[in-house]
Amino acid sequence: AGDFDEALATLQRRIGLINAAPLKPLFEEIYSATRCSLPALPLEPSIGLPVVTPSSKLGVPGAEIEPAGLFTVQFLLGKLREGHKLTTMGKFGDSLDVFRYVRRVLQACTMATAANSEEEAQLTEFIEVCSQYVEAFYVQVMDPSVSRSLELSAYFTCVNLQPSHHLLTLRAAMTQNFKAHNYLTAANMARRLMLGNFGASKTPEVVNQARKILALCEQRGTDAHEINFDSNDTDPRLIICSRTMTVINPSRGEALVRCPYCNANYKAQYAGSLCDVCQLSEIGSRVLGVQFRPL
């Protein structure tokens, strides 16, 4: 309908929106996608027509007319698959490009609509997946010291990614830590790689490489660089602050807050500021929650 102010007000109530700038081009895309123009007679203006869903009954008095949605489940699924493809092809080498791409998909989910409960569940999953990938690539685009780089590579392996991409993170962290003489940490990555279920991506060559590195690491058994990562934990489930990229330990009394839209975790001190992952919502704000279809 072109009522952008009402749309923004709704998002403020639903997801705690405090930064609308990334949504402006998405609003314009949606508005343009719901209109078409047909040529008229010579010297006459073109005829503007709405683009509606197949179920809408144009010309029927009192009938409900529903504008066609641009960001459907099918559309966003295609975008997400493209992001996964870029990740696999680039092997994290083009991290910044993928980082920007996946964040755009995450932001587009705020405009999505679901036709049923199944699509609603899919959209909720899309938000979670995109949030995890944005956080993962945020780690990659940082430029820290050697010790911090090794620590972040270990944290990268704890993000919930697709199995094939998880395998890539383990291989990268294993190699990076081995070359830096962090043999205990490299051994952790090698064990997890050998024990994990990564489908067809876990080839014999990959397993043999991990086995050789593990054998060398066990002979040397030291870490040259001290990092905040338990090398004895073969199933680490860390809670990482999305701003500082450091571990939050609720079991030790450390409080955490979350983004109300993408559920990114933060230390309590960052409540009230803008989420670094989605760059849309206020961290820790209490909201109604995202809604993809009428109740």
Is residue 245 one of the residues assigned to a domain?
no
Q: What percent of the chain has pLDDT over 90?
A: 49
Split into its structural domains, the chain has a count of 2
Classify 55 in phi/psi space as left (phi over 0), alpha (psi -120 to 50) or beta.
Answer: alpha
Q: Which residue has the higher pLDDT, 227 or 65?
A: 227
Q: Residue 171's domain spans which residues?
A: 162-220
Residue 265, pLDDT above cutoff 90: yes
Is residue 173 one of the residues assigned to a domain?
yes
The verdict on 77 and 136 lying in the same domain is yes
Is residue 123 one of the residues assigned to a domain?
yes
Is residue 154 one of the residues assigned to a domain?
no
The verdict on 125 and 170 lying in the same domain is no
Q: State how far the Cα of 154 lies from the Cα of 69, in Å rounded to an integer.
A: 41
The verdict on 115 and 173 lying in the same domain is no
Could you tell me the pTM of the whole model? 0.82
Residue 56, pLDDT above cutoff 60: no
pLDDT tens-place string over residues 28-42: 887 777 777 778 778
Is residue 32 one of the residues assigned to a domain?
no
Name all contacts of 242-245 with Cβ < 8 Å and 24+ positions apart.
Answer: 242/135, 242/138, 242/266, 242/275, 242/276, 242/277, 243/267, 243/270, 243/276, 245/138, 245/139, 245/142, 245/152, 245/155
Which residues lie below 8 Å from residue 103, measured CB to CB, with a gap of 6+? Answer: 130, 134, 277, 278, 279
Q: Which residue has the higher pLDDT, 35 or 137?
A: 137
Up-side HSE of residue 196: CA atoms within 13 Å toward CB? 30
The verdict on 130 and 93 lying in the same domain is yes
Is residue 287 one of the residues assigned to a domain?
no
Q: State how far the Cα of 35 lies from the Cα of 290, in Å rounded to an integer.
A: 26
Q: What's the pLDDT at 62? A: 58
Q: State how far the Cα of 268 lies from the Cα of 55, in Å rounded to an integer.
A: 47
- CB neighbour burial string for 141-171, b if at least 16 within 10 angstroms, e if fewer: eeeeeebbbbbbbbbbbbbebbeebbbbbbb
Residue matched to tokens 């571990």: 247
Is residue 252 one of the residues assigned to a domain?
no
Is residue 129 one of the residues assigned to a domain?
yes
64-73, 226-235, 271-280: lowest mean pLDDT where? Answer: 64-73
Q: What's the pLDDT at 51? A: 63
- Listed residues 190, 220, 250: the one ending a domain: 220
What is the chain's mean pLDDT, rounded? 86
